[in-house]
Amino acid sequence: MTAKTVYLEVRPYTRGWLALAAALGAVLAAALAAVWYMEHQGHWVTGMTNQVVWGMPHVFAVFLIVAASGALNIASMGSVFGREAYQPLARMSGLVAMALLAGGLMVLVLDLGRPDRLIVAMTHFNLKSIFTWNVVLYSGFFAVVAAYLWTMMDWRLKRFYKPAALAAFLWRLVLTTGTGCIFGFLVAREAYGAAVMAPLFIAMSFAFGLAAFILVLLYAAKTTRRPLDEALLGRMVRLLGLFVAANLYFVALHHLTQLYFAGRGGVEAFILAGGTIHTLLFWGVQVGLGGVLPLVMAFGGCRHSVRKRATMASLLVVLGGMAQVYVLIIGGQAWPLDLFPGMEVSSSFADGRIHAYTPTLPEVVLGLGGMAVAGLIILVGISALRLLPAEIRDSTPNR
Amino acid sequence: MTALSRRQVVLASGAVLITGPALARSPGAPASPANRWGLLIDTRKCAADCTVCVSACKAEMGLSGHDRPLTDAQYIRKIEVRDPVGGKLHSLPVMCQHCAKPPCVDVCPTGASMKRADGIVLVDRHICIGCRYCMMACPYKARSFAHEEQTGQQPHLPRGKGTVESCTLCVHRVDEGRLPACVEACAAKAKGAMLFGDLNDPASEIARRVASEATTRIRADLGLDPGVRYQGI
Amino acid sequence: MRPKALTRLALLATLSRQRARVIIAILLALLTLPALAAEPPAPPKAKAGTTCIESPSVMRRDHMEMLKHQRDDTLRLGIRGAKASLKGCVDCHSTTTAEGRPVPVNAEGQFCQSCHAYAAVKPDCFECHATTPAVKEAAR
């Protein structure tokens, strides 16, 4: 038996609401200005080159897209896995998932060489391309999650609730598998080219998505002065710890596989011990700050309040996640393609050299714009619809 | 017949060492899967300091460049290869390898990356959205992205900002029965290290040499079956 | 005989309908006025001694379709020598300066630009395609 949860819209146009909307709008405006500049000049004004073809926008986009599917987990925990404690948060979870995905896709699309040809991407499909599948999976994600949200909010559709929940969960698994395969299916790049990328991305999505969700929830609860149950928060922090551990496990598995293959020793030595920014980001930020420390916070003896622990652990997971995606995307490209294994090569086209990449401001601003869009969608969503519980607490009455 | 005279022009222009590839295709006829255009490059004839093929390509394709080596387009480049054991040096040109199973075509979301019936891999820039996934997928680093507005295009090779480009095997010449610019220049101004022809035609010189001599492909282990073969490395 | 009120109502309705028509007509006139005021384009004549592949009326209406069809045929299938080609357009319709330098067809007042500006259509062709005819081999 569950207690009835009351959902209430957030009152819009208050001073705080307007200030937040204006701030997010300003970041978005700056991002659009950056896009205008980059597209007008061409990509040479960014740090991206013919060697490092995907840069900072892709780091942000992949982070947001991966986090999007993970943010849906809270809803799935409640409806698919029967953890009723999470059910009051299911609506928020669906909204955050859609918002993060929209932000990520915006960044991805606006970095295209020809963003004006988006319609081409929607009308010409090469079904052999994992990218095409992702276009379908991303669009479908919006539809599936929207339908799922509908079944949660409209009692007349109660009988579709379970099937919609299951469909959304399966869809998000396939979606993250697809995102992982964008890298996993690249035979050319030694840093990727492994099936483990798919489960690794799923583990990443669990961790990043939950961290982003906790941050949104904490902020929303605080600014709307709605009570947030500490026991529920404690559960979520422990769940976050579990996901962080899963992420670390797959990272270790990936690198161990790579190290075992003699031919991939070079790229592993470069990432793990090369002494470049990638090594620092990997050990310091991804594994240290974004992996081990949140684990300690989740399970270890930390004397801070659960609210503080949740905030810190989530922020660290987001930070570590950005570093992880950076090392994966940029670090993977920085290592040169091996045209002649076992030989030393050089050319006028930077063959056989480790490629440098320096992100430029417009690229970073575009990425932040994606986050701002996600924020705006969440803000408008919780103001227009009854998504956020009036009291955020466990719906099981025995506590 | 004009086709024949074109061939004679090619033969007379200094490319005598190399057999003309084929007759020009008649107007209205599509590229045929009966052909598989390819190159055979003899690295023993390729000098380290020679960049005749690269210059010829730049002139033919109108690749003016902006003196920015990291973002300027290169369809063909010279790679110096050194064996760490003993230090033996090789020099060779690398361009799009026109794979039979091109990863760039597999990954392209819109189908802009494509392989013509006769095995030539091209970018259809009319529907290229500039996502650069093909550049992530190509093991040969054969593709470039137009990082800025382009000027001075050749009528036979449109190219513009925001799309991906690479060696076309001089498809505009091949369709006229002429040799690719790099091959022609190598024969005329260097040692004729490059041989162009139809790998599917057992009577062609390239097919005969591939049948009788040892040839290699770059990263043959990937199983992409490139149309460009090498000797001496 | 209808009741007076009804007649008046019907009259009012017709009147307002008429008024709406008049307003729409005025709006339309205002909207199209700039176009009427603008000089119709006077693109440069094609090169002497050349004939277009179709009549001007057909070309005006269908050139984009012809070119789109041809571009796919040529690039993707490798069919050469099609009737319609952008290269053909540029060959005949580009002009040269007094010093003999070629003028791009998309330059101000030139063949492609003048008409597309008038029709307010931005062609994507010249982002990539050459805007002047091929330079003779000997010139290189």
Domain assignment present for residue B25? The answer is no
Q: Using an 8 Å Cβ cutoff, are C44 and C108 in contact?
A: no
B141 in a structural domain: yes
A242: in domain: yes
Percent of chain A surpassing pLDDT 90: 87
CB atoms within 10 A of CB C14: 10
SS3 assignment, position B91: strand
Least CB–CB distance from B124: residue in C75, C130, C140 = C75
B129: closest CA of chain A, how far (Å): 5
User: How many domains in chain B?
Assistant: 1
Closest by Cβ to B145, choosing from A53, A337, A339: A53
Q: Which other chains touch chain A, taking contact as 3+ CB pairs less than 8 Å apart?
A: B
Alpha helices in chain B (DSSP H): 2-12, 52-61, 103-107, 133-137, 171-174, 181-189, 205-212
Residues of chain B found within 8 Å of residue A50, distances taken between Cβ atoms: 70-74, 135, 141, 143-145, 147
Using an 8 Å CB-CB cutoff, list chain A residues near B146.
42, 113
Does some domain include residue A41? Answer: yes
pLDDT (tens digit, 9 = 90+) per residue, A163-180?
999 999 999 999 999 999
pLDDT (0 to 100) of residue A397: 53
Q: Which domain holds residue B162?
A: 2-18+32-231
Residue C81 shares a structural domain with residue C121: yes
Q: Average of pLDDT values for A375-393? A: 94
Whether residue B27 lies inside any domain: the answer is: no
pLDDT of amino acid B20: 52
Question: Strand B37-42's sheet: what is its strand order?
Answer: B194-198, B37-42, B228-231
For B77, phi then psi, to 5°, come to: -140, 155
Looking at residue B65, which CATH number applies to its domain? 3.30.70.20
For residue B66, being part of any structural domain is answered with yes
Q: How far apart are CA A216 and CA B95, in angstroms?
A: 50
pLDDT band at C4 (very low <50, low <70, confident <90, very high): low
Contact C80 B114 (CB under 8 A): no
Among A296, A293, A298, CA closest to A316: A293
Convert the pLDDT of each residue in A82-109 to its tens digit.
Answer: 888 898 999 999 999 999 999 999 999 9
Residue A59 lies in a domain: yes
Give a yes or no: residue A389 inside a domain. no
C84-105: average pLDDT: 91
Radius of gyration of chain C (CA): 25
* Count of Cβ atoms closer than 10 Å to residue A296 Cβ: 14
Residue A218 lies in a domain: yes
pLDDT at B8: 47
Q: What residues of chain B, 178 to 217, have a C-beta less than 8 Å from chain C? A: none
Helix, strand, or coil here: C58? helix
Q: Which two tokens stand for residue B173?
A: 């010449």
A18 vs A130: CA distance, rounded Å: 41
Cβ contacts (< 8 Å) between B133 and chain A: which residues?
129, 131, 182
Partner residue facing A187 (CB), from B66, B111, B139? B139
B chain contacts of residue A36, beta-carbon cutoff 8 Å: none
**A347, part of any domain:** no
Global confidence as pTM: 0.90
Contact B84/C at CB under 8 A: no
Instruction: Answer yes or no: do C16 and C79 share one domain.
Output: no
C126 and C69 within one domain: yes
Binning pLDDT at 50, 70 and 90, where does residue C138 land? Answer: very low
- CATH number of the domain to which A372 belongs: 1.20.1630.10
Domain extent, residue A123, equals 15-336+352-384
Give the C-alpha distances (Å, rounded to integers) separating A223 from A16, A19, A212, A218, A299: 8, 12, 17, 9, 28
CB contact under 8 A, C130 and B155: yes
pLDDT digits (tens, 9 = 90+) for A291-321: 999 999 998 767 788 999 999 999 999 999 9
Confirm whether C48 is domain-assigned. no
Q: Which residues of B194-222 are buried (b: 16+ CB within 10 A; e: fewer)?
A: bbbbbbbbeebbbbebbeeeebebbbeeb
By residue range, what is the domain housing residue C3? 1-38
Length of chain B: 233
| Residue C43 binned pLDDT confidence (cut-offs 50, 70, 90) | confident
Residues C30, C90 within the same domain: no
Given its phi and psi angles, is residue B17 left (phi above 0), alpha (psi -120 to 50 degrees) or beta? alpha
Cβ-Cβ contacts under 8 Å, B162 against chain A: 39, 42-43, 112-114
> For the segment C110-131, what is each residue's pLDDT rounded down to a tens digit?
999 999 999 999 999 999 999 9
The domain total for chain C is 2
Quick check: is A4 in a domain? no
- Domain annotation covers residue B26: no
Same domain for C128 and C72: yes
Q: Is there a domain that residue C93 lies in?
A: yes
Task: Pick out chain B residues at pLDDT < 50.
Answer: 1-19
Residue B24 counted as domain residue = no
Are residues C70 and C129 located together in one domain of the fold? Answer: yes
Counted domains in chain A: 1
CA B105 to CA B85: how far, in whole Å?
37
Share the mean pLDDT of chain A: 94
The answer to whether residue C5 is domain-embedded is yes
Helix (H, G, I), strand (E, B) or coil at C43: coil
Work out the pLDDT band at C74, boundaries 50, 70, 90.
very high
**Which residue would you say has higher pLDDT here, B4 or A363?**
A363
Indicate the pLDDT class of residue C39, thresholds 50, 70 and 90: confident
User: Rounded mean pLDDT of A30-48?
Assistant: 97
Cα C57-C63-C66 angle, rounded to 5 deg = 130
Note whether residue B103 is domain-resident: yes
Percent of chain A whose predicted confidence (pLDDT) is above 70: 98
Measure the CA–CA gap between B126 and A6, rounded to whole angstroms: 53
Is C111 part of any domain?
A: yes
Q: Indicate whether C32 belongs to any domain.
A: yes
Residue C10 pLDDT = 62
Closest by CA to A341, choosing from B10, B220, B2, is: B220
